[in-house]
Amino acid sequence: MTEEKVIEKEINQRLQEAWQNRYTNRKKSLELAAQSLEKSKEQAYFKGICFSKLNILLLEFWQGEDHNFLQEVLECHNFFQASKDQLGLTRSKNILALIYDQYGQYEKALHYASKAVNIAKEANYKSAIADALTTLGQVYSRIREYPSAIECFKLVLGIRNEEKDDLGKASAYNLLGRNHLLNKDFSTSEEYYHKSLELRNNIGDINGLPWTYLGLASLFESQGEAEKSITYYKEAIKSANTNDSRLKLLCHLGIAKNQLKTHESSEAEKNLELALKISQELNVKSLHAEVLEQLSILEENRNNYQQSLNYLKQFHQIRESILNSETANQLKQQQIAMAVEQAEKEALLFKEKNKEIRSSIEYAKMLQETILCSPEIIAQEFPEHFILFQPKDIVSGDFYWFHSKKDINFIAVADCTGHGVPGAMVSMVCNNALNKIIIEDDENDTAKILEKVSSGVRSVFKKEGAKSEANDGMDIALCAINKERNKLLFSGANRPLVIIRKGEVIDVDADRKSIGGVSYDDNTFSKKEIKVETGDVLYLFSDGYIDQFGGESGKKLKSKPFKELLLSIHALSMNTQKEKLAEAFEKWKGNLEQIDDVCVIGVKI
């Protein structure tokens, strides 16, 4: 055996030990993986580099560290795919599934976890099969397919028993307890939790114990036993590792929920503040939404209705992005796709069905495009302009609107509830409302336009005989520009206007409410009159660009960097500005998915 092979063998042994310690001794696992990474780099041993990185990334991910995991895991995944390394593919796909699960991208999590199971089965890697089935079960649980999740975890328990893996058995018991709880089978849930607690105490599983306490806390909370629940939540925090931020987030949130039920508002507020801070640091969208919901309840109990409504609106916006009907449909189709992979005939039928669905959506796209004003028509009034329109899916919830009449040019960018097919349907309703108010009714006052459009949209979505209205509507930036008088009227619903004049940014704020959607007692909108000058550049935009996750930390771009980007390019030609904005967006997004529709319009006076 050559010296090079001897060193590679030593690295592989160290990596195996690191992986085996990932649950029992994370510190040791991290040290061994770091040593293997350094040694692998010295030897240019790329297989060792990738396995070391996966081990390190998984541990950091569990610790809730702020890191761009996705890009690095994908690099390892691509290496293993090219080298046809089945163990590497199984691990990398499983970790990708975990990451997408945290991002709320459940269809992708389901896809990668299922692929990991299949590859592990082909290679007969028992432990890897159990790991991938665990992740698959967690995703099924997230989409409320509890019987499917329980079936996965029972298979996991069987494998852990076969391999005499007590640590894995305790974890499987815990997961079964959790999913029987979610399925409202409380007695079976408690049995599994106590099995997990007993086993973890017997084997000294200090990393797992807090999660069993957490499960018991959730169980008693579901049965209305608040004091008992709080006791177990506190036990979980007490026994938790100092770096286990996600668990602490769940505990503080759980304690606050119980305290709200027992009318301990001050204590509940303290726990919610802690939970909110952690959820923002970890960027766990689903849990962040839950914290906002509880804050809304807290403020409602205090009769602070406006603040309660603000929290509730934020809650709905986040929940919509991860649990809307379109996502559920995508997940269901992904499950169908995995089920038919074994039969060529069924796969062909599924392919044909998808083709029909896509054809229908493509037709919907063509219909939606008919409502968008032609750039050539806009160019007649504003020769220097650009439109960056980039839907997340085939059809869009964003749209832009333009109309010229007499000496006034109307231009708007609108962001309707949702994206994809649901968003496109809402956009058609909102577009028709603009046509009616501005063109048919000849209304020129931007504030009155928004007020009338809001009333019209609500009437469309109002459920006959229902106590509430559908939460569908739009945010919009609307300008009425009189070039002869150098005057601009602006009204906005949650979407501002940015003007750059002689190298300075002028912010024109919008009203902090939406068109339609959740009812407001005050249905009025403000109007701002602005004197424009030759050379001014106006920018109207939806929130898709600034809300995109990306960069080194995988966080949102946000408003300030976006305005700085506009300032840096505003003196360029409009076509070049469009190209620069598109390039900057792709660079920021990197390997992450586009999360929303994007629409940016620039107009030079």
CATH of the domain at 532: 3.60.40.10
Q: What is the mean pLDDT of residues 309-314?
A: 88
Domain that holds residue 426: 373-604
Query: How far, in Å, CA of 24 to CA of 122, rounded?
Result: 28
Q: What's the CA gap between 206 and 25, in Å, rounded? A: 10
pLDDT of residue 246: 84
pTM above 0.75, yes or no: no
Q: Lowest mean pLDDT: which of 327-331, 430-434, 447-451, 526-530? A: 327-331
Q: Which residue has the tokens 């080298």?
A: 83
Classify residue 397: in a domain, yes or no. Answer: yes
- Contact between 399 and 371 (Cβ < 8 Å): yes
pLDDT, mean over the chain:
84
Q: Into how many domains does the chain fold?
A: 1
Mean pLDDT of 393-418: 85
- The confidence band for 359, taking pLDDT boundaries of 50, 70 and 90, is low
**DSSP secondary structure letters along 309-335:** HHHHHHHHHHHHHHHSHHHHHHHHHHH
Residue 227 lies in a domain: no
Question: CA-to-CA distance for 331 and 335, rounded, in angstroms?
Answer: 6
Domain assignment of residue 44, yes or no: no
Q: What pLDDT score does 345 carry?
A: 44
pLDDT value, residue 372:
78
Specify the pLDDT at position 472.
58
Q: 134-138, 307-311, 422-426: which has the highest mean pLDDT?
A: 134-138
Does the residue 579 lie in any domain? yes
Tell whether 450 is covered by a domain: yes
In contact, 101 and 589? CB cutoff 8 Å:
no
pLDDT band at 462 (very low <50, low <70, confident <90, very high): low
Question: CA-CA distance, 503 to 49, in Å (whole number)?
Answer: 48
In the block, residue with structure tokens 């509507």: 473
* Residue 120, domain member (yes or no): no
Question: What is the pLDDT, as a whole number, of residue 467?
Answer: 41
Confidence of residue 336 (pLDDT cuts 50, 70, 90): very low
For residue 438, tell me if it sits in a domain. yes
Predicted pLDDT at 470: 45
**Percent of all residues in the chain with a pLDDT value above 90, rounded to a whole number:** 50
Residue 573 covered by a domain: yes
Residue-wise pLDDT for 536-583, tens only, equals 999 999 999 998 988 877 788 999 999 999 999 999 999 999 999 999
